[in-house]
Structures are given as structure tokens and as C-alpha cells.
Amino acid sequence: MSRRKGQNPKVRVGKRADGTKYYFFQYWVDVPGREERKRQTEVVGLVSHITRSEAERKKLDFITKLELNSNDYRIPSSRTFADAVKHYREVFAPRMHRGSTFSVRDGLLKNHIEPHWNDVPIEHVNIDSVNEWAWKKRQAGVSWGTIKDALRTMQRVLSAFSKDGKPPFSQAGLAIPERDKLQMTIASRRKVSYSWAEAQQIAEQVRKLDGLGPARREQYATAILLAAGAGLRSSELLALKVNDIDFRASTIRVDESSDQRNAGKIGPCKNATAYRTVLLRDPEGQRALRELRRFASNGTNPDALVFHSKRGGPLLETTILNQGLYPALEALGLKKAGMHALRRGCNRRWELAGINPAIHRQQMGHTSAAMTALYTGEIPLEHVQAEFSSKIGNEIVVLENMENEALA
């Protein structure tokens, strides 16, 4: 049967085996995921109990509730989510995504999305079905952060497949319990962040590691100090070349990035704001530059990577973590975190130093002030105490002495 929207089926009379007569009508429904329509039969009453006119009214009421003749009715497509994923993998992602971006999203698709959504018709993907799926994932122990990352991937897959380029749902409608929202915010504020003092301790501990040769120890220690002093992303740090550094001007140029999910392949930066020149004029930045100058003094090729493998190729962050950073953190008794904790520490240091917000954001390569603020997180108590002492230290001492004298 053709796929027309309007339906006005005829009320007919049927007869059962016992001779009882009844009014009925048949109508067609579109089946999501299938081209063929399915015929349904609806009995509206016995001939002995209602008139034909009453049967007609019941039929119209039934059809109205189904909204088969409504202008808002949409014929379900035969396309499923699996079709959208196929288009995303084969057409959209190779053209539009970096290798590392696609690798992350493909992992989310395989682990969290495809097992549930592959056979679901695209028309059934809406905020209600998404909320039901999200709740099941949460019940299974998946964090809201992972759920939201997976949904961003779903949105990208579906928008790439749609004609208008828009996803069928918005995360604004995601039903996250208020208590969970609060816990997520608290957890985000308490992410590990290494101060400059801690970065120095970590670097010194790396230099004492027995399992590494002298060259490797010095390389990891320098990378850690530079990450803490300049606030570079690890992908930017590991794409740094000798000619990106201007020791006289105290600057580092960021115009490439290391794709850590593609053997460290050097390519474009994360986004437009990541392309920048970082000025290191504070004491911590100057110290990091001195360490870098000492480490890179033997380099003669301006196009060579500053931090590289034994063969001169890109160095992987996991190598630094497993061989240098993690063992040093364990020895020092510090919380375990990656290189990004050094970047967060630099962000906090610059903010507490009162750097102009616009300059601060540019130095970090952030796209928004909100992102810069997010990196600061919860300020440790020792920093709060130091700020109070620097502003009203003498007044606090006087008040404490007065209180002590009054109690004596």
C-alpha cells in the first residue's frame, strides 16, 4: 500500500463462529525500520449494542488519537541508527575528524552506544528514549561524564546523517538528578592539580629513578617542568620543535599537536585558539625555560622535536607516564594523575597571580572564559591562607594577640 498519511477506513460488519455480528475497520500503520506497512484490525462494538453511526464515531475517535491524519504525523523511515553509524565511519569522520578525535568517538560507539541503539529506527531516537538509556547506563555504574560524552558522539553521528544537520535531541533535556549534578560539579572542582612546588618535587624524583638512563630521566624531568611552567597540553608539548622556542624573547610557539592515538603523528592543533605564542615571564616560567635551554643545548636541527624517542620520532605521553611520572608520584605519595594536572596547576597559578583574564585565556589556548575558570577548580587551603596573610597578615596577628590577652 502506498505511504499516504490520510486514512478513512470503512466500517464493516464481521461475523464470529457463534453467529455474533460486530462492527470493525482496518487501517494501516507504518513500521519503523521497514518499508512495508502493516494492516491492523480494530473492533468497535457488537451490532446488537451500537448503531453504525456510533461505530463510525468510535472509528473517527480512534483514528484521531493515533494522529494518522494529523499534519504533525511523520512517516517513519526505514533507516536505523546503524545506517547513521555506517555513514559516519565511512564518509563523515574521515573527512571531518582528526584521527585522535575519531578514535575516542569510535570507542564510545562500540562500548556504549551501538550495543543498544544499532537496530533502533532513527525516529525512535528522542530525548525520552535517550533518558531511558542514560538511566540504565547509570544503573550499570557508568559515570554521567561518560554518558554525556557518548551522547555528544550520538548527536554528531545523527546530525551528520540528517538533511538539516541537526541532532534529534538536546542534552539540555537530559534528566540528571540534582544530587548527581552537584556531585559532578564537586568532582570537577577537585580534579588533581599539581602546583609549581609539586612539579619541582616530581621532576627531582624523576631524576632519581633507578630504572631509567640519565638521558631519559632528564628528558622526562624537563618535560614535566615545562608543562607546569608553560601550561601546554601534552599533545602540544610533545609536538614542540627546537625552532618553536625563542629563549631571548621568552616565548614558545604552539602551531602543531601530537596525535597520541595515532603513534604520536604530528598534525594540526586542537582548535583555532590552540594556535598561540606563550610568553613565560613569571619566575616559574623563567625557571622552566632555563631547564629547557640546558636540555636542548645540544640540539642542532631546528626542525627536530625537543622531546623525542630514541629514533627521533614522536614521544608518547604514556611512555612518560609509565616510566617517569607515575613512579615519581608513588614515591612522593602524591595523588596519581596525568600530565594535564600540571597544566591545571599552571592555570591556577596564573589566575592567582592576577593575570588579565583575556591574556590568561589566550596563554592557555582556551576557547572561553568558562573553560579557564573550570581549570582553576577548588583552591587549596594553603593558597587561601597565603592570600589572607599577604593582604591582612599584620591585622590577624594583632587580633590574635588581643584575644589571647583577653583570655589570659
Q: Is 232 found in the same domain as 182?
A: no
Q: Could you tell me if residue 137 is inside a domain?
A: yes
Q: What is the pLDDT of residue 312?
A: 85
Do 203 and 283 lie in a common domain? yes
- Average pLDDT score over residue span 368-374: 88
Residue 300 shares a structural domain with residue 219: yes
Q: For residue 169, which amino acid is it?
A: F
**Whether residue 401 has pLDDT greater than 80:** no
Residues 6+ apart with CB under 8 A from 4: none
User: Which of the four pLDDT bands, split at 50, 70 and 90, describes residue 70?
Assistant: low
Q: C-alpha angle with apex 372: 369 to 374, nearest 5 degrees?
A: 110
Examine the domain organization and report whether 166 and 212 are in the same domain: no
One domain, residues 121 and 211: no
Specify if 4 maps to a domain. no
- Percent of all residues in the chain with a pLDDT value above 70, rounded to a whole number: 89
Residue 244 and residue 126 in one domain? no
Q: Residue 284: which residues within 8 A CB-CB, separation 6 or more?
A: 196, 228, 229, 346, 349
Residues 167 and 299 in one domain: no
The confidence score (pLDDT) of residue 287 equals: 96
Whether 207 is covered by a domain: the verdict is yes
Residue 2 has pLDDT above 50, yes or no: no
Question: Could you tell me which residue, 378 or 94, shows the higher pLDDT?
Answer: 94
pLDDT at 241: 94
Q: Which of 189, 221, 248 is the last residue of a domain?
A: 189
Are residues 247 and 143 part of one domain?
no
Task: Judge if 321 and 205 occupy the same domain.
Answer: yes
Structural domain includes residue 102: yes
Residue 253 has pLDDT above 70, yes or no: yes
pLDDT of 403 > 70? The answer is no
Supply the pLDDT for residue 3. Answer: 46
Q: Is residue 214 part of a domain?
A: yes
* CA gap 325, 217 in Å, rounded: 10
Domain count, the chain: 3
Evaluate whether residue 268 is within a structural domain.
Answer: yes
3-state secondary structure 189-231: HCCCCCCHHHHHHHHHHHCCCCCCCHHHHHHHHHHHHHHHHHC
Residues 317 and 358 in one domain: yes
User: Is 222 in the same domain as 343?
Assistant: yes
Task: Give the span between the Cα atoms of 321 and 196, in whole angstroms.
Answer: 18
Predicted confidence at residue 187, as pLDDT, reads: 83
- Provide the residue range defining the domain that includes 60: 12-66
Q: Is the pLDDT reported for residue 127 higher than 60?
A: yes
Query: Which of residues 127 and 38 earns the better pLDDT score?
Result: 127
53 shares its domain with 177: no
In the predicted model, is pLDDT for residue 383 greater than 80? no
Predicted confidence (pLDDT) at residue 69 exceeds the cutoff of 70 = no
Beta strands in 183-335 (DSSP E): 245-246, 251-254, 257-259, 265-267, 276-279
Look over the chain and give the mean of its residue pLDDT values, rounded to a whole number.
88
For 88-115, write each residue's pLDDT tens digit.
999 999 998 878 788 889 999 999 999 9
CATH number at residue 255: 1.10.443.10
Q: Kindly tell me the sign of the dihedral angle through the C-alpha atoms of 140, 141, 146, 147.
A: positive
- Say if CB 189 and CB 138 are below 8 A apart: no
With bands split at pLDDT 50, 70 and 90, how would you rate the model's confidence at 298? low
CB 350 within 8 A of CB 362: no
Burial 297-332 (b: 16+ CB within 10 A, else e): eeeeeeeebbbbeeeeebbbbeebbebbbebbbeee
Query: Is residue 1 situated within a structural domain?
Result: no
Q: Could you tell me if residue 161 is inside a domain?
A: yes
* CA distance between the termini of the chain: 98
Q: What is the pTM of this model?
A: 0.69
Phi, psi of 241 (to 5 degrees): -115, 160
Are 23 and 47 a contacting pair, CB within 8 Å?
yes
* Residue 62 vs residues 72, 75, 310: alpha-carbon distances, Å: 17, 18, 75
Query: pLDDT digits over 30-66, tens only?
Result: 666 565 678 889 999 999 999 999 999 999 988 888 7
pLDDT at residue 197, rounded to an integer = 94
Confidence band, pLDDT 50/70/90 cuts, at residue 248: very high
